[in-house]
Structure 1
Amino acid sequence: MGKQKTEMLKGVLEGIVLAILAARPAYGYDITTRLREQGFEDIAEGTVYALLVRIERRGLVDVERTPSEKGPPRKVYSLNTQGRDYLDEFWRTWSFLSERLQLLHEGDEHS
């Protein structure tokens, strides 16, 4: 992944992960797998786990420990009400930014 793409992704990864959790609860490895299926192949598991710790501390998710077939129990994350509100705000902000960027891009094409 190019440096510019990596930097831009850092700014929106939290919203992407929250959107994944809005669809259904998941654990860290599952989230990483879903990201990779969506084309974010270069996302490191450590990046996802660090982000999960941050959103848990901020109270955006609920966490349930479930037994694992191998090793310690898994932490399953689910979006709570505060997280849904935050995700709604993320989508409003994303819409605003993407509309403005599209207008700038279209204006650039006409130059």
Structure 2
Amino acid sequence: MDRSQLLKGLLDIIVMRVLADEDAYGYEILHRLRRAGFEELGDATVYGTLRRLYKAGHLSTYVMPSDAGPHRKYYALTESGRARLLQMREAWEDVSAKMRALLDPPEKG
């Protein structure tokens, strides 16, 4: 099954959750996502999501010098982003519970 459409709908919550505990720059975000099992998410897709979330006010950015090359642009959740992540998590829990009940109905006795 092609999971890309399902993941497309979950990109915001996935990316914001990765940033919930600690700010990160783009490559580090990609690395965290891949460690979490999201190897199929392309670089352009993730960077596009970061730009969109920034424009929506859910992320802020700042630049830090790097010993390993050019300065790095870090992304951080804003208060709006934290509130949005909470809303999305509540929606996910609700839909997930309903899907579990639908896909795994109790045995009829």
Fold match by TM threshold 0.5 = yes
Corresponding residue for residue 10 of structure 1:
8
Give the aligned partner of residue 51 of structure 2.
53
Match among 19, 31, 35 for residue 33 of structure 1? 31
Give yes or no for the alignment of 1:86 onto 2:98.
Answer: no
**Segments ≥4 residues shifted beyond 6 Å:** none
The one of 102, 105, 108 equivalent to 2:103 is: 105
Q: Which structure 2 residue ranges, 5 or more long, are not aligned?
A: none
> Cα RMSD (Å) of the superposition?
1.4
The structure whose residues are more often helix, as a share, is 1
Q: Give percent identity, aligned residues only.
A: 35
Letter in 2 for 1:20: V
Aligned to 1:70: 69
Q: What CA distance in whole angstroms lies between the structure 1 residues aligned with 2:15 and 2:89?
A: 13
TM-superposed deviation, 1:110: 4.3
CA–CA separation in structure 2 for the residues paired with 1:17 and 1:25: 11
Unpaired segments ≥5 residues, structure 1: none
SS state at 1:67 partner: strand
TM-score by length of 2: 0.91
